[in-house]
């Protein structure tokens, strides 16, 4: 059984250590845990790993955040993976730092990457793991905050956040969305 795990972010060194790229960091963590290596493929960097007899295709779209849907649709079609076996991992301003939220449907919450995926899939029903980055910014500073680098304080907890996110992804693949939501949320 195959799963497509999409970590949202922006390609390029200037975005590498930003809050907006936490999705990339989560799929990197999973690849590292299972000996996966990323290669440049159409619409993204891709790594394939095995977990409990399942194939996890890890995707970091190269289409930039606001056009993530193009990469998601391409890899779903290319690998013949149904929507219930994809998981979009993204940053979320509406959650406190270190909090995770696993859902099977919902709004885009103002997130342009999710907005594009919903537009391309023509649905708000697809699994997503939201990783809280907090909202420690002043009025009008949202973009600078999201595209900003992690603070020293945030970096102290980041590895734990990444491991918790990895465990949430593994749970989703092993026991399904509903049961995983009970433990993750």
Query: Mean pLDDT over residues 47-57, rounded?
Result: 97
Asked whether the predicted pLDDT for residue 140 surpasses 90, the reply is: no
pLDDT at 181 (0 to 100):
96
Average pLDDT over the chain reads 95
Q: How far apart are the first and last CA of the chain?
A: 25
Q: Among this protein's residues, is 20 annotated catalytic?
A: yes
What gap in Å lies between CA 35 and CA 33, rounded to an integer?
6
Asked whether the predicted pLDDT for residue 11 surpasses 90, the reply is: yes
pTM: 0.95
- Residue of 10, 18, 19, 20 with catalytic role: 20
Domains of the chain: 2-184 (3.40.50.1470)
pLDDT at 138 (0 to 100):
80
Tell me which H or E stretch contains 77: helix 68-79
pLDDT at 137 (0 to 100):
81
Q: Within 10 Å of residue 26's Cβ, how many Cβ atoms?
A: 30
Tokens 């149904």 belong to: 82
Asked whether the predicted pLDDT for residue 127 surpasses 90, the reply is: yes
Query: Mean pLDDT over residues 19-36, rounded?
Result: 97
**Beta strands, E only, the chain:** 2-7, 39-41, 44-51, 54-61, 86-92, 100-103, 128-132
Asked whether the predicted pLDDT for residue 30 surpasses 90, the reply is: yes
pLDDT at 136 (0 to 100):
83
pLDDT at 45 (0 to 100):
97
Percent of the chain with pLDDT over 70: 100
Query: Mean pLDDT over residues 95-116, rounded?
Result: 94
Asked whether the predicted pLDDT for residue 33 surpasses 90, the reply is: yes
pLDDT at 142 (0 to 100):
87
Asked whether the predicted pLDDT for residue 50 surpasses 90, the reply is: yes
- Tell me the residue length of the chain: 185
pLDDT category at 88 given cuts 50, 70, 90 is very high
């Amino acid at each position: 059984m195959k799963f497509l795990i999409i970590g949202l972010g922006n390609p390029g060194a200037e975005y590498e250590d930003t809050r907006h790229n936490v999705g990339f960091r989560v799929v990197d963590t999973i690849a590292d845990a299972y000996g996966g290596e990323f290669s440049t493929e159409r619409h993204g960097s891709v790594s394939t790993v095995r977990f409990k007899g399942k194939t996890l295709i890890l995707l970091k779209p190269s289409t930039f955040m606001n056009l993530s849907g193009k990469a998601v649709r391409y890899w779903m079609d290319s690998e013949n993976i149904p929507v219930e076996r994809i998981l979009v991992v993204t940053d979320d301003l509406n959650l406190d730092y270190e909090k995770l939220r696993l859902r099977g449907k919902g709004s885009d919450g103002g997130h342009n990457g999710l907005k594009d995926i919903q537009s391309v899939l023509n649905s708000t029903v697809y699994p997503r793991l939201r990783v809280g980055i907090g909202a420690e910014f002043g009025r009008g500073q949202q973009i600078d905050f999201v595209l900003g680098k992690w603070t020293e304080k945030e970096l102290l907890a980041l590895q734990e956040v990444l491991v918790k996110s990895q465990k949430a992804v593994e749970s989703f693949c092993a026991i399904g969305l509903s049961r995983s939501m009970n433990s993750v949320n």
